[in-house]
Structure formats: C-alpha cells, structure tokens
Homo-oligomer: A and B are copies of this chain.
Amino acid sequence: MSEKIHRSVPVRPSPTLEDLATAAGVSRSTASRAINGGSRVSPEAQAAVDAAVVSLGYTPNRAARSLVTRRTSSIALVINEPDARVMMDPFFAAVITGVTEALRETEMQLVLLMSRAGGDASRTVRYLRGGHVDGAIVVSHHKADGWTEDLAASGLPTVFIGRPWDTGLGIHYVDVDSFEGGRLAALHLAATGRTRLGTVTGPLDMTAAVDRLAGWNTGLREAGLPPGPVAEGDFTTPGGAEAAALLLAEDEGLDGIFAASDIMARGVIMALQASGRSVPEDVGVVGFDNHLTAPGELPLTTINQPMVETATKAGRLLLADIEDTRSNRDPVIFPARLVMRASTAV
C-alpha cells in the first residue's frame, strides 16, 4: 500500500473485480457469478463476495461490462423539438416523470436526447444506432423526421409516445385517444348550445394535432353543425392567441373554440378577452391535456390526457421489448375524457 502524499487529483481508482475476488478469496469468475445471477456459486463463496462488495464499495465498471454483454443499461428519451421554448410545456415534465417511474427499481438509466434546431437529427440517429443505449422512447415526433425508417430498420427497441406517421413500419407506440378527445370537445360545445365553432389545432405535422382535428370535424358532423374555421397553432400560448385572432377574423360571431392544448387555450382566452369578448359568456373554450394548475385563472374545460401513465406505460413496454424482442407490439391507446369546468359554463 504505497501512499502518494501530493496527489493533485484525489481520485482513487475504484476497486476492480479482481480486487473484489482477492478480497473475497475467490477467483474472478466466481466473484463475477456471485455479483450477477448468483447461480452455480456456493453459499459461502456468495457470502464472502457479498461482504467484500460492501467493504470495498465495489461498483462494476459499466463500460467493461457493456463491452462484453453488449448492453448498456440505459435508454434514451428522444425529444425532438426545434424550439426549446416548448420544453416549458408541462407535457414534457409529465413524460419525464412517467418514464422515470417506469425505470425505478431498475438499473436502467435515462439519457436525454434533445435534438435542437441545427438539424443535427443525423447525430441523434447515429447515437441511437451506435449501440449506446438499449432502447429509445421517442416523443414529439414530426412528419419531417425522416429518420423514423432508419430507426425502425436499425432493430433498436423503440416505443413512440404518440402515433408515428408511418405505422406500416411496425413501430411500437402508446397514445392517448386524440380523435375521441377532439370529438368530445365538439359534442360538448354543441351540447351547451353553441353553434358557431372553430378550432386551434396543433402543428399539423404531428399526428396528435391531425387526430384531434379529425375527431373535431367528426364531432361537428355528428352534432349537425357545419365545419367551422380552423387555424393552426404551435402548442405555445402566443401561438394560440394568434390563431384565435385568425379564427375571429374569419367568423366574428364565433361562440365556441377548441384548442388542441391547454397552453394554447390560454392564448385563446387571452385573445378573446383582448377583443372584448368574455369567456364563457360570449365564447366557450375547451382545451386539451388537463395539465393546467393555475388557480386564479379561469378554470378550463379540457380533455383529460393521462400523460404520466402513458409515459410510464411506454417505459414498461420498452423494458419488455428489450427483454424479449418478440413482445406484444400492439399499440396501447389511453381513453380521453372530458373534464368540464368554468370556461364552457352556460
């Protein structure tokens, strides 16, 4: 045991499996077996190794381990948003919370892969294909994300949160019933006696936005109402406000608006009030997400979307997929439910 007095970097090398084995009085192999499955190792050897583990504070070297096992014990959460501002949407907090929940009690670590504006999508897919993670959860998928095929072809276990554009690729995904949500919004506004209805959609290069719009149109038809004005938003509050202004320009007698996210609904209400209209008296507003918790502002009628649960489900499915490549790949769809609050009171 030599002791260097002046060591600029106070990092003592962590004990290796070799150290552990000698400390336990067994061979490397036995120590290895004891650490892992623990099969085919005598009770006394097991005990000796266990003791050595705690006394040495041994932690297996992940790099060395994954080099031979070809598993990394980590999964990627791919958030593909060019605009960093959307990160502020509670949606992502819910996703992170849910995925983390699925990973607890697991050795798996979560690697955050945020692709930014600079078109470094190739970098993301390279990383994913490079064997750095055992699987990936992809959220916030856009139509222009051409790498979806590459990813599917790579064979990396992958679960999408939100239906991918090309379901023909056999990609595993979980989603909330956006179509039904849009439909419920239309039916609810109609049921409260409103007849001139418009909608602020999400970015139409996302399936969630398209599905909500389709459900909305279906709901209008079922209610016997004509298709009203449609404006595309961007899932931000200012975007919602701008879109609402467009809607009002198209039909100033509008008495009901469905916004495809709560965040946008905020903007819609702001625009309505700025134009001298009151909510819900003049115009009823329905949001989507049920993520808002801002007492003090007008309670928003919205479509409940169990995002945390959805994300947790995605995590569990991915883990199962990693364990067994032939696991069930059927999409899982969570139901949408209308939550009525003051913004559509009659």
Partner-B contacts on A (CB < 8 A)? 8-11, 14, 57, 59-64, 66-67, 72, 74, 77, 84, 87-88, 90, 92-94, 96-97, 100-101, 104, 109-114, 116, 118, 126-127, 129-132, 153-156, 237, 241, 266-267, 269-270, 273, 291, 293-298, 325-326
Contact = CB atoms under 8 A, between A and B. Distances in A.
Contact of A241 (B155, B295, B325): B295
Contacts of A57: 126, 129
Identical copies in the complex = 2
B130 A118 contact: no
Given A59-B129, A297-B296, A88 B93 contact: yes
Contacts of A293: 88, 237, 266
Contacts of A104: 116, 118
A298 B84 CA distance: 26
Question: Looking at chain A's contact residues, is the secondary structure mostly helix, strand, loop, or mixed?
Answer: mixed
A27 B116 CA distance: 36
A267 B94 CA distance: 21
Nearest to A66: B63
Contact of A84 (B74, B92, B97): B97
Given A8-B325, A62-B132, A110-B111, A93 B87 contact: yes
A29 B127 CA distance: 23
Contact of A112 (B14, B60, B110, B130): B110
A111 B325 contact: no
Contacts of A61: 67, 130-131
20 contacts: A11-B154, A11-B155, A59-B126, A59-B127, A60-B130, A61-B67, A63-B66, A63-B72, A88-B93, A88-B94, A96-B112, A100-B112, A109-B111, A110-B111, A111-B112, A237-B293, A237-B294, A266-B295, A269-B295, A270-B296
Nearest to A104: B116
A101 B84 contact: yes
A269 B271 CA distance: 23
Contact of A298 (B10, B96, B114, B296): B296
Contacts of A291: 88
Name the residue in A63, A90, A101, A296 with the highest tally of chain B Cβ atoms < 10 Å from its Cβ.
Answer: A296
A94 B213 CA distance: 31
A94 B90 CA distance: 12
Contacts of A132: 62, 109
A14 B129 contact: yes
Contact of A87 (B97, B112, B267): B97
A293 B109 CA distance: 32
A10 B155 contact: yes
Quick one: which of A14, A131, A241 has the most chain B CB within 10 A? A131
Contacts of A130: 14, 59-62
A126 B56 CA distance: 12
A113 B153 CA distance: 30
